[in-house]
Structure 1
Amino acid sequence: MDPILVTYVYRTIYNCSVTSPPTDLTSVRHRSVTPGLLVVLALLSAIAPFATDLYLPSFPQMTSELSASATEVQLSLTAFLVGVAVGQLIFGPLSDRFGRMRPLVIGAVVCLLASVVTALAPTIGVLVAARLVQGCAGAAGMVIGRAVISDLARGVAAARAFSLMMIVGGVAPIIAPLLGSVFSTTIGWRGSMWFITALVLVMLVSVLVVVRETHTAERRAAAREARTGGGAIRELAQRAFIGNVVAFAFGFAVMMAYISASPFVYQTMIGLTPVQYAIAFGINAIGLVSVSALSARLARTVPVQRLLGIGLALILVATLALLALVLTSAPLWLLALPIFVAVASLGLVMGNATAGALSAVRTTAGLGSALLGALQFGVGALVSPLVSVAGETSALPLAVIMATCAVIATLGYLAARPRTPRTGAAARP
């Protein structure tokens, strides 16, 4: 991870300290989302983009060395993503029952061992199996990291913390492909796998040094009582949770649709060179990172739900503008403008929607985080292949999918808003 980026995140957090400890348990009342903890949790969330994007440029090399087809090599990526989705559903509930630390450490250790196997894999079958385990175990850091923030912060503080995590999450997809391009011609795909292994080792050590248990025995006991009395189901069935999860997942789907179609849109349709495409991709990511940082600061004075609503409104307008440009056969270079607005505006959506969802599930934050992450990757995996159904020369599927996802995300936001009682209702007997 770029030390300059980590320093920037640290200083940004330090200047706007995130402190909103829970008020229900005195055992964690003195704790807060410290800068060091937030950086470690952000690194845990970065495992997915590094593990997916870093070795993509080496696919041709892998087909030759492993005597595998392109489809079989692609299966190693699919296996990892499936593992991430399933792993969140496993480790989230486990962290509610046994605390955050034990499942987190176990997941990191298993992920480290699986990463070693991926680097040494003699056949494509071994590689695919190891990648499945790697994704499943690596998901522990992603799902439990969100739960840890939910344990220590609520409302505005949680929204600021999740928005700051987006800074690292937004930059990782830029760094990974660039490093992967360099590694593919120097140390090869196995070197890329060893780099991922080293990154997982750093994460494991960071967890052991920085992270402490936040889901205490008292909190776990309260959660067990809630499950016995049906409180967990009532929490997960709340409009605030479901609506924010929908807003988060389909907001993420807007970004996944863009990422999947971006090589064709920018290079095949607009005509950019690979270097120009990398610059355009980077500009969009910088927009996302910048708006995420802005969201973290605005959350001190602007209600979280209002920031979320503004972000979704901007995305909806941008995606509808993109659809209009495609339908009117406007100059193709104009497509880059609404795409930038839509991607950058996600900085107002992802962190705030996560905070809104997890703030609604106080006793089942692990399970809530698991459902959030599983739907995120499930919807993302669903929309990614759909953007190319009309071939590489039409942006219509991309525009339709981005606009549709924006509409669904907005409906989720509207459903999550608290209902305002009618005038005079309070006076009724």
Structure 2
Amino acid sequence: MSSTPAQPAQTPRYKPGIKYILMLGALAALPAITTDMYLPSLPAVAEDLRASQAAVQFTLSGMLLGGGVGQLVIGPLSDRFGRRKPLIVGILLHVVISVLCSIAGDIGTLIALRVLQGFFNAAASVVAIAVIRDRFVGSDAARLLSRLMLVIGVAPLFAPTVGQAIAGLWEWRAVFYALALIGLVLVAIVWRWMPETLPEERRRPGHVRHIAGGYWHLFRNVRFMSLAVIPGLGLGVIMSYVVGSPFVFQDEYGLSQTQFALVFALNGVALVASAQLNAALVRKVSSARLLRAAAVVQLVFALVLVAVAASGFGGVLGLMVALWLVLGTQGMIPANASVLALNTYGHMAGTAAAVIGALQSGVAGVVSPLVGVLGGNSVSMAVVMLGACTLTVVVLLLGTPVFRRGGWMRLDTYEQVEAVRPPK
């Protein structure tokens, strides 16, 4: 057996342009932007609609729920009808629902609309990943996904600030007008610059039996499901930090809002930097090897984080450094796991990407609330993050051959497909 991964003979090597990366990154980041721009408006929504805090928070979790279901529906549709049609229809409906959210008169209506908004703008993220698999394989796909992390990672850092500025100048309803405008811009960009990447001959039948059969095939594949759940565990790590860090740094350690914003930005830089490091490393090191190393190193850093949080060693600076290391390693895990999961499913990339996306929403939605359940302090945040990191290593160990001798070579094989050159 050769010591290097098999390369598809028909796939030409080329480098995607910055416009292409920004376009796919913006699409993949749309659900996160839709969530994060709205975050600062939660107190105003509660006051204006006379709703409880729990009800208002469900406008966030409801959108995640809608997004998870939406990916499972829209993914197979993109395998049947091509990428452009479901994408454009999904974003246009996101625009319409954003406008309806801006005129919602009660919290129940807003919750229902947010669930629908999550359902339809899931088209942007699931199609973006499917398009990558249509055109790229192996290290090329891993590099592109890592580059997307730059856009996906930076956008949510600025989205709350932009949302707060819009709500401050006008009111919370204006945030949804801004989200509608973003959707219209994305539709124009897709219409002008993104050609269809799934030719007619590679499309799958779209009736229920074939869709269910595709999902059943994926769910029965232990290796695929093991790799597909890892990005969800990774998002669980990130969301545990996101939901816990405001209380940890401001209430427990006494940081001001400005200081916390700086800490949040620095940790965002860690995610982006490690993703770019991964993009450089996959040129020389296989995705499977990088995933294995990053998962183990992150587990060690998570153990250090728990020790620092429990002992108070180094104070707030010690906690910041430990968090930076854990989150920094995270940037090297989702892209490699996603590429390895999709390697042999180019013929049903939309369906496979939908499973990965739905697991991300579902697993993160289950993991992150545990921080509050366990106490909402630094120790509970660190323990939940450690738990997700531990599960990542266990899943890799039991569900994939990555820790076995030569196992990385079996993960780095993929079907031979003809790639479509992206626009310049």
Say whether the fold is shared (TM-score over 0.5): yes
2:49 equivalent to 1:49: no
Higher mean C-alpha deviation, range 205-214 or range 271-280? 205-214
Partners of 1:29 and 1:97 lie apart in 2 by 25
- For the pair 1:290 / 2:270, whether they are aligned, the reply is no
Q: Could you tell me which amino acid in structure 1 is paired with residue 358 of structure 2?
A: A
For 1:48, what is the secondary structure of its paired residue? Answer: helix
Map of 1:156 onto structure 2: 139
Correspondence for 1:183 among 166, 182, 186: 166
Corresponding position: 1:367 with 2:345: no
Give the TM-score taking structure 2 as reference length: 0.87
Distance across 2 between alignment mates of 1:258 and 1:89: 27
Q: Which aligned pairs between 1:412-423 and structure 2 lie closer than 5 A? A: 412-414=395-397, 415-417=399-401, 420=405
CA positional deviation for 1:232: 7.1
Q: Does 1:357 align with 2:334?
A: no
Contact 1:269-1:332 within 8 A present in 2 as well: no
Residue 380 (1) aligns with residue 364 (2)? yes
Matches within 5 A, 1:300-379: 300-333=283-316, 334-379=318-363
Q: Residue 200 and residue 31 in structure 1: after superposition, are their counterparts in 2 closer, same or farther (change >3 A)?
A: farther
Q: Distance in 1 between matches of 2:205 and 2:42?
A: 49
Aligned-pair Cα RMSD in Å:
2.7
SS in 1 for 2:240: helix
Match of 1:12 in 2: none
| Inter-partner Cα distance in structure 2 for 1:356 and 1:35 | 24
Distance 2:336 2:246 in 1: 29
1:14 is matched with none
> What is the match of residue 139 of structure 1?
122
Residues 146 and 31 of structure 1: CA distance in aligned 2, closer, same or farther (over 3 Å): same
Instruction: Tell me the distance in 2 between the aligned counterparts of 1:297 and 1:382.
Output: 33
How much has 1:391 moved relative to structure 2?
Answer: 3.1
CA contact (8 A) 2:71 2:119 kept: yes
Say whether the 8 Å CA contact 2:28–2:128 is kept in structure 1: yes
CA drift of 1:246 comes to 2.5
1:21-61: per-residue Cα shift (whole Å, max 9, x none)? 9767xxx9799754333221110111122211112222222
CA distance 1:271–1:33, change in 2 (3 Å): same
Q: How far apart are 1:227 and its partner, in Å?
A: 5.8
Instruction: Assess if the C-alpha contact under 8 Å between 1:43 and 1:168 holds in 2.
Output: yes
Structure 1: unaligned runs, 5 residues or longer: 1-19, 423-429
Provide the residue aligned with 2:83 in structure 1: 100
For residue 102 of structure 2, what is the aligned residue in structure 1? 119
From the superposition, tell whether residues 107 and 197 of structure 1 become closer, same or farther in structure 2 (CA, over 3 Å). same
Determine which of 252, 255, 260 is the counterpart of 1:269.
Answer: 252
> Can you list the C-alpha shifts for 1:172-203, whole angstroms capped at 9, x where unaligned?
22101111222232121111111111111111
Q: Which residue of 2 aligns with 1:6?
A: none
User: What amino acid is aligned across from residue 266 of structure 2 in structure 1?
Assistant: I
Residue of structure 2 in register with 1:279 after alignment: 262
Structure 1 residues 233 and 85: alpha-carbon distance in aligned structure 2, compared to 1, 3 A threshold: closer
- 138-147 or 67-76, which moves further after superposition? 67-76
Q: Distance in 1 between matches of 2:184 and 2:406?
A: 53
TM-aligned CA deviation for residue 101 of structure 1: 1.6
Distance in 1 between residues matched to 2:304 and 2:139, nearest whole Å: 31
Runs of 5+ unmatched residues, structure 2: 1-5, 408-424
Taking only the aligned residue pairs, the percentage that are identical comes to 35
- Alignment coverage as a number of residue pairs: 398
Choose 364-373 or 95-104, whichever is displaced more: 95-104
Q: Distance in 1 between matches of 2:85 and 2:130?
A: 14
2: CA distance, partners of 1:74 / 1:83: 14
CA drift of 1:153 comes to 0.5
Equivalent residue number for residue 4 of structure 1: none
Q: 1:112 touches 1:197 (CA, 8 Å); kept in 2?
A: yes
Residue 249 of structure 1 contacts residue 409 of structure 1 at CA under 8 Å; is this kept in 2? no
- Asked if residue 58 in structure 1 is aligned to residue 41 in structure 2, the reply is yes
Alignment map for 1:208-227 (pairs within 5 Å) = 208-220=191-203
Distance between the aligned counterparts of 2:93 and 2:375, measured in 1? 40
Stretch moving more, 146-155 or 360-369 = 360-369
CA displacement at 1:326 relative to structure 2: 3.1
In structure 2, what is the equivalent of residue 75 of structure 1?
58
Q: Cα distance, 1:64 vs. partner?
A: 2.6
Give the secondary-structure state (helix, strand or coil) at the position aligned to 1:348: coil
Amino acid at match of 1:264: F
Cα deviation per residue 1:194-239 (whole Å; 9 max; x = unaligned)? Answer: 1111111111111111112112111125999x969x7875565444
Which of residues 260, 279, 290 in structure 1 aligns to 2:243? 260
Q: Distance in 2 between matches of 1:288 and 1:254?
A: 12
Equivalent in the alignment of 2:416: none
